[in-house]
Each structure stands twice: as C-alpha cells, then as structure tokens.
Amino acid sequence: MKIAVVGTGYVGLVTGTCLSEIGHTVMCIDIDQNKVNKMREGISPIYEPGLDELMIKNIEEKRLFFTTNHSEGFENVDVIYIAVGTPEREDGSANLSFVEQVAKDIASHIEKDVIVVTKSTVPVGTNDWIKSVIQNNLVNNVKVDIVSNPEFLREGAAIYDSFNGDRIVVGAENVTAANTIGELNKPFGIPVFKTDIRSAEMIKYAANAFLATKISFINEISNICEKVGANVEDVANGMGQDNRIGSQFLNAGIGYGGSCFPKDTKALVQIAGNVDYEFELLKGVIHVNQKQQEILLNKLDDRFDSLEGKKIAVLGLAFKPNTDDMREAASIVITKYLIEKGANVVAYDPVAMENAKKILDLNVNYASNTIEALKDADVALILTEWNEFKDLEIGSFEKNMKLPVIFDGRNCYDPKIVENFHVEYHSMGRPSIKNIHLLNV
C-alpha cells in the first residue's frame, strides 16, 4: 500500500520506518527541512536503538522516502497517518493546532479517496472534528474515512514494541476502513482490537493513566516503606507475583517523566472536567508524581547543613534510559534546585547531554564520563538508571569521590552488595546504608 506519514517525531519516524519494513511504500512528511535532510541520509534525529539501521535498509530498498512537500507526499496515497505532536497547553489540555494544520493540508492536497489514520494522542471526539475540518476544506470531490489508531510504543524500546506490541487498537467509523487498516498491519503479527473511534481514543488515555497510577501507587508505598522499615523492592516483587497485579511498572523512584505520562494524565483530567466529571484519583496520581522529586531533595537537605559550594555529581539526565529525550525529565527540576542552592553541579548522561544543554540551567557543568563526574564530588545523585551506571563498581564511588554519599533515585544497586563498601547509600523505599563512619563525617 502507498502510505503518507505526517510528522516525523518519535511516533511518525518509527511508524513510517516500521510500515516500510513490512513492505509498504511510505512517504514521511515533516515541515522541518533540517530533519528531512538528515533522515534522507538515514540519520535519525532522535536516539532510538535500532532505528538508524532500519531506516537505512528501507531507504536503500526504496520503500522509505522523506519530504517537506505535502503535495508530493500525498500523491497517490491510499492511507495518511497523522503523527504530529499534541503538546500540553497551559491549562493541561491538549494543543490540537498541529493536528488542525495537517487536516487542512490533507484537505487541500488529496486527489483520491483516502483513509486518514490518527496516531497522535488526541482527546475523545477529536477524530470526528478532524473529519469535519477535512470535509469543510476539501478542494477535490473525494471520500475520506477516519480511523483512530493510538500508538503504544515506549521510547528506547520503540522498534521492539512496534513488532512485539500486545495489541493494535483500531477505532473506525465503518467496517471497511477498520478491515483495511487491520490488513495493512497484518504483517506485524500483532492482534488487532477493533472498536469505535471514541473508545479507541479513550483507550490510549486510560492506558497511560493506569500505568501512571501504578507508578504513583508504588511510589507512595515506597514512601511508607521508608518510614516503617520495609523494602519497597521486595514489596513490589511480592505484589507483582500476583498475576492480577502484574510485576511491571512497579519500580519506585523519582516519578514518571517523558513526553507522554505527564501530559496525557493532565489532558485526561481536562477531558473528564469538560463533561463535569472530577477525576479525583488521577489528580492524586499527578500530585504524588510531582512530590516524588521533592522527596529526594528533602533527603539531601536533611543530610547536609548546606549545599552551597558542594560538588554534586548528577548521573543521568534523560527521562529514562536508552533515549536522549529530555521532555519532563526529573533532572530538569532537580538540577534547577541544586543550582539555586549554590551547588556545583557536574552532570553526565551517555546520550542526552546535547539535548540537556538546550534545556538545563546554564550553570550546570558537564563531564565526559561517569568517573570524571564523580571525581572529588561530595554527593552523587542517580537520576536515570542507564546500564552504564547499574554496572558501575560501587568501589568507583569510594575511590573517586571526596565524600562517597550516594542518593540513588532509581534503585540501581543491591543494598546487600553496597553494604560491603565504605559508602553512604540512600535509595528510594529501602533502608539507607551508612558505611562511612570511619571517615568521621
């Protein structure tokens, strides 16, 4: 099938590349000329394991193309995917201006019947509105069917998820459109769940809100564990072995970040509010998440009289491992606070430092590796659980830091192993280890 994908952020680029990999001819359209130039050469503008290789393969096999020109991109296509951003407005609601522009672009360029598939995460009712925007602006006499096909990929595991997802959700206004999109996705070998458009739109928000709820729930349990002397990792393990609960998304830490959970939970509160329903539980989930970074900072403040002049090594800046995405990363709030307190912040992240430099306080310094960041530091804060940090010998903290005090926001180390070293180790929801009494500090 000939497909156009509009918007080549995470979702658009991964979707376009994977659809070409299963045999379709895909034209990816983006308004950003620099991005398009890079992608034509097989260079992904985002760090995503496995993506570059797959792009190059499909470009070489002449199934994957890139353009900034909508009329070229829409020429002769059977299906158009909308994958532009739906960022958060100030009141928490989703900003649909990019989607509206795409709907108008589609209306003014298509010359044959098409199915328009919305991949972007959009509030319930948006697909009906997209259809009306297209129909009100159509230049040619063609038929447009709308399908909601929300995306469930995780950054850092996007290619794996595209080929191994649990389900593909297809919300359509008629059986023919649903069947066409089901067939188009068949080579992925993933079960297709067909429903109506509004339910499909709601599934996306409900799924993200539920996962965010799991995280905030375990974070609250973690906070209680600290006070009662329990170990949240064992608690999560013991809970997760119950199949009704499941073991995933029960890692306590400094809360969820990224381009989706923070914005989508707030948008769902708005969606509910628009129909006079107060989503109390989800409001709590959002509040707990905001508090979780403060909890780490409060522990740091309790440990030291002042952070003024202290060298603080920050390990990990991205919102999660295996990505360079800094959107809503915990490191933004945490480094800002440390700088305000007069600390000397030296940060290191394996891939996110270039993006971090555009966002973080200008006073943050950057090291070129973990050991350089730890050198003579008074404190180490671990904010992202990259394997590179998890695999670090605990002895490296002891050897390189002035004062080996570690605050681990992501529970990277087994306390039983840490106990063997002269370090002070504070993690989330687990008893602290204070093994530096010999240093008399």
Ligand X SMILES: O=c1ccn([C@@H]2O[C@H](COP(=O)(O)OP(=O)(O)O[C@H]3O[C@H](CO)[C@@H](O)[C@H](O)[C@H]3O)[C@@H](O)[C@H]2O)c(=O)[nH]1
Ligand Y SMILES: NC(=O)c1ccc[n+]([C@@H]2O[C@H](COP(=O)([O-])OP(=O)(O)OC[C@H]3O[C@@H](n4cnc5c(N)ncnc54)[C@H](O)[C@@H]3O)[C@@H](O)[C@H]2O)c1
| 213 in Cβ contact with 250 (< 8 Å) | no
Task: Report the residue number, 29 or 382, with the smaller CB distance to ligand Y.
Answer: 29
* Binding segment toward ligand X, per CB under 6 A, in 76-84, 248-256, 306-314, 348-356: 248-256
Angle 237-239-243 from CA coordinates, rounded to 5°: 105
Site string for ligand X, 371-400 (x = CB under 6 A): ------------------------------
Give yes or no for residue 74 binding ligand Y (CB under 6 A): no
Give yes or no for residue 6 binding ligand Y (CB under 6 A): yes
* Binding segment toward ligand X, per CB under 6 A, in 136-144, 244-252, 269-277, 427-435: 244-252
Nearest distance in Å: CB 260, ligand X = 3
Task: Report the residue number, 70 or 426, with the smaller CB distance to ligand Y.
Answer: 70
Task: Determine the Cα–Cα distance for residues 100 and 96; give it in Å rounded to an integer.
Answer: 6
Among 257, 316, 350, 409, binds ligand X (CB under 6 A): 257
32: partner contacted, choices ligand Y, ligand X, none (Cβ within 5-8 A by kind): ligand Y
Q: Does the active-site annotation cover 260? A: yes
Among 48, 151, 349, 424, binds ligand X (CB under 6 A): 151
Give yes or no for residue 319 binding ligand X (CB under 6 A): yes
Q: Within positions 131 to 190, which residues make up the interface with ligand Y, using CB under 6 A?
A: 151, 153, 155
Residue 170: DSSP 8-state = E
Task: Determine the Cα–Cα distance for residues 36 and 421; give it in Å rounded to an integer.
Answer: 50
Q: Within 13 Å, how many C-alpha atoms sit on residue 144's CB side?
A: 29
* DSSP character string of 41-102: TT--SS--TTHHHHHHHHHHTT-EEEES-HHHHHTT-SEEEE----PBPTTS-B--HHHHHH
Give yes or no for residue 208 binding ligand X (CB under 6 A): yes
Among 129, 249, 279, 304, binds ligand X (CB under 6 A): 249
Q: What are phi and psi of 304, to 5 degrees?
A: -120, 145
| 150 in Cβ contact with 229 (< 8 Å) | no
| 282 in Cβ contact with 213 (< 8 Å) | yes
Among 211, 230, 359, 439, binds ligand X (CB under 6 A): 211
Task: Determine the Cα–Cα distance for residues 142 and 107; give it in Å rounded to an integer.
Answer: 9
Task: Determine the Cα–Cα distance for residues 361 and 368; give it in Å rounded to an integer.
Answer: 18
Nearest distance in Å: CB 85, ligand Y = 3
Q: Does the annotation place 402 within a ligand binding site?
A: no
Give yes or no for residue 359 binding ligand X (CB under 6 A): no
The active-site residue, picked from 28, 225, 260, 412, is 260
Residue nearest to ligand X (CB): 260
* Binding segment toward ligand X, per CB under 6 A, in 60-68, 94-102, 153-161, 350-358: 153-161
Task: Determine the Cα–Cα distance for residues 202 and 286; give it in Å rounded to an integer.
Answer: 18
* Alpha carbon 319 to chain centroid, angstroms: 7
Give yes or no for residue 64 binding ligand Y (CB under 6 A): no
Altogether, the residues listed in the chain come to a count of: 441
* Residues 6 or more apart in contact with residue 217 via CB below 8 angstroms: 285
Nearest distance in Å: CB 206, ligand Y = 14
Residue 124: DSSP 8-state = T
**Token output for 389:** 């940090």
165: partner contacted, choices ligand X, ligand Y, none (Cβ within 5-8 A by kind): none
Q: Within positions 61 to 120, which residues make up the interface with ligand X, using CB under 6 A?
A: none
261: partner contacted, choices ligand Y, ligand X, none (Cβ within 5-8 A by kind): ligand X
- Nearest of 321, 328, 376, 327 to residue 349 by alpha carbon: 321
Helix (H) or strand (E) holding 213: helix 197-228
Among 56, 101, 152, 199, binds ligand X (CB under 6 A): 152
Site string for ligand Y, 250-269 (x = CB under 6 A): ---------xx---------
Give yes or no for residue 401 binding ligand Y (CB under 6 A): no
Among 93, 120, 265, 400, binds ligand Y (CB under 6 A): 120
Task: Determine the Cα–Cα distance for residues 115 and 136; give it in Å rounded to an integer.
Answer: 16
Site string for ligand X, 116-135 (x = CB under 6 A): -----x--------------
Q: Answer positive or negative: Cα dihedral of 295, 261, 94, 44.
A: positive
What residues are designated binding site for substrate?
Answer: 152-155, 204, 249-253, 257, 320
Q: Which residues are catalytic?
A: 260
Q: Given the rule CB under 6 A, which residues bind ligand X?
A: 121, 151-155, 208, 211, 215, 249-251, 253, 256-258, 260-261, 264, 319-320
